[in-house]
Structure 1
Amino acid sequence: MASRTRAALTTIAGKTVGPVGYGLLSLTVPWAPIEFPTAIKLMKTALENGANFWDGGTHYGTPERNSLHLVRAYFEQYPEDADKVVLSIKGAFTLKDGPDNSPEGIRASVEESIKVLPPSIKPIDIFQCSRVDAKVPIETTIQTLAELVKEGKIRSVGVSEVNANTLRRAHAVHPISAAEIELSLFTTDPLHNGVLDTCHELGIPVVAYSPVGRGFLSGQIRKPDDLPENDFRRMLPRFQPENFDQNIKLVEAVSKIAEAKGVTTAQVAIGWVIKHGGIPIPGSTKEARILENTKPAELTDGDLDEIQKILDTIPVSGQRYGGEQEKLLNG
């Protein structure tokens, strides 16, 4: 099991980041679009509260309105912030076709990215393929990205949803600046499958997406009908009626710890990720939630032991994504 590693501030792509970042997915989802002026205000709030690691993707939104368009709009308004932010972009992937990590696919994704977001406005600090492509050796993928670094089109190379062996093979080709994985009280696999241990051994920062269990640990979801009718989470296994009642038990147990500490459930969840060496990247569309998320709970070893007892006795029910998307995880 991965050791507990308290990560306060971490250096990524030559900049100090942490302990909490900001995920841009929630600002560009097609089913609940937020106007860019509102999104920009939220991003400014995140940055002003220390969340200077921003995570986006070419598939976060539509080809005409995704993370890159939003980031461009932000830095056109606040050019002085460009050097303050570490920008990580995932690409070479579509929800329809999955990953294309061929040299041609990667280059096409990067070229489109810098067309939308020119380096003169904001360079892409980290580019990573959103998922491992089983048809392409990881060495080929990383070598292509390394060439793009040399060409000045991206600043560094990251990986996403990789297993420990793939991570080692990737790092042997070119230094990996960050490994993005799902890590939360709802997804503790990296503590046991060697990914966290490998990251710590190789000195690779861990970026943890969905740190509040896709909203489960926000404390705002008590029953399936609390999700909007068009919310994509209604399609995810863990939110299905046959799994929901079991999973809410975990939330309720963690909530008791939060109440005793005088913090929120989300702050405990985010603090837990930090304590295990991850940089959580919660996303939010509300200013109050950003202010909450950027003030994680300080957890003691006693707190961690209590949380572990909960995890041992209340198993999570349901896969992360289910279907074809589940097959692309931990590649």
Structure 2
Amino acid sequence: MPTITSKPTGPIGFGLMGFTWTPTPTPDAQAFAAMSAALAGGANCWNAGEFYGMPGTRTANLELLNRYFTAHPSDAAKVVLSVKGGADLTSDHLTSQGDRTGVRRSVENVLRVLDGKVFLSIFECARVDKNTPIEETVAAIAEFVKDGRIGGVGLSEVSPETIRRAAKVHPIAAVEMEVSLWSREVFVPGGVADTCAELGIPIMAYSPLGRGILAGRFTKPEDLEDGDMRKIFDRFQPGNFEKNRVIVENLDRIAERKGCSKAQVCLAWVLAQGNKPGKATIVPLPGATGVDRVEENCKLVELSEEELEEVNGMMNEVDVHGGRYNEWMAPGSWEYFVGG
């Protein structure tokens, strides 16, 4: 069983972004049911964001957590909560603020909105501030760890070099990276996964289902509602979307033969990349807003060596069309931006 900030977590985590960073936020009754189902399924490593809300309601994700733990106070002790922040909430592009002033503003704001309803296990700046040494950023977060107000320091979208520099300042509780069948950059030799394995740092793998497309949630670009942020990402653009659907069709055949869902195949593949001697601990963070999806994601499926080879062979034979984000989001904002 993985351990993060000295607390055991289930093999599967839970990403909360989809509840609130959408034009149509999930109603509390539905969200609360899904959150309770996650805990019932052992998914107690939760990942939220200070800015996971639409303009004007940026802290909606944290407000949801406040309401949930107000209604379910006994669940607070079960959760390992990681929150991303360190961004200018007044900026449309959420410009990184990794300097001490920006970090302190962000952490204080997260703690204010959570209002003591749940302990903040990990705070991480969502992206590296190009204008601030990572040493300053980590030291600023570590001040809150030292006074007991938060549990640990996290990193997000970082390079191996940055991980090493950060770890010299303060122990790193976890590194959050995008990891899925179509985002495998962390596994290059000497890359993030190898570095985390060497330093004993767990990886929290966000978007392990390719933002839903690999699970078969969408069949065409028009399936995304107006205002859905995926509409601006390269891989979801008309032309790229249709080509990337080939991956889903291949997964469909494997899942059907195995008697499970495509999502379960994807999560099994991510888990198989770590969690063994010499490999990094990896906790996938699938998001879901309904009980059925949460329960599906929590039901573990194991791939045999032959099945893993089949999945890897399938991915090696197809091209992923489009970058992980898009061109305007790359310059100056994203340190670990291999493949988009």
Instruction: Specify if TM > 0.5.
Output: yes
Q: Deviations over 1:169-204 (max 9, x none)?
A: 111111000100000001011111610011111110
Aligned in 2, Cα 1:30/1:233: closer, same or farther, shift over 3 Å?
Answer: closer
- Supply the distance in 2 between the matched residues of 1:315 and 1:125 (Cα, whole angstroms): 38
Conserved 8 A contact 1:72-1:117: yes
The Cα of 1:42 is off from its aligned counterpart by 1.1
- Supply the distance in 2 between the matched residues of 1:136 and 1:162 (Cα, whole angstroms): 14
Conserved 8 A contact 1:99-1:132: yes
CA root-mean-square deviation:
1.4
- Supply the distance in 2 between the matched residues of 1:30 and 1:306 (Cα, whole angstroms): 35
Structure 1 residue ranges (4+ consecutive) displaced by more than 6 angstroms after TM superposition: none
Aligned in 2, Cα 1:143/1:65: closer, same or farther, shift over 3 Å?
Answer: closer
- Supply the distance in 2 between the matched residues of 1:325 and 1:206 (Cα, whole angstroms): 23
**1:83 matched to 2:77:** yes
1:237 maps to 234
Aligned in 2, Cα 1:99/1:53: closer, same or farther, shift over 3 Å?
Answer: same
1:216 maps to 213
Report % sequence identity.
43
| Partner SS, residue 320 of structure 2 | coil
| Partner SS, residue 44 of structure 1 | helix
**1:18 matched to 2:14:** no
- Supply the distance in 2 between the matched residues of 1:51 and 1:173 (Cα, whole angstroms): 30
Give the partner amino acid of 2:71: Q
- Supply the distance in 2 between the matched residues of 1:69 and 1:227 (Cα, whole angstroms): 25
1:103 maps to 100
- Supply the distance in 2 between the matched residues of 1:330 and 1:133 (Cα, whole angstroms): 9
Tell me, which stretches of 5 or more residues in structure 2 are unaligned? 275-281
The Cα of 1:85 is off from its aligned counterpart by 0.4
Give the partner amino acid of 2:6: G
**1:74 matched to 2:74:** no
Q: Deviations over 1:134-185 (max 9, x none)?
A: 0000011111111111122211100000011111111111100010000000
Give TM-score scaled by structure 1 length. 0.94
List aligned pairs for 1:1-331, cutoff 5 A. 9-62=1-54, 63=57, 65-93=59-87, 94=89, 95-119=92-116, 121-192=117-188, 194-277=191-274, 278-327=282-331, 328-331=333-336
The Cα of 1:324 is off from its aligned counterpart by 3.0
The Cα of 1:112 is off from its aligned counterpart by 0.9
Conserved 8 A contact 2:22-2:228: no
The Cα of 1:35 is off from its aligned counterpart by 2.0
Tell me, which stretches of 5 or more residues in structure 1 are unaligned? 1-8
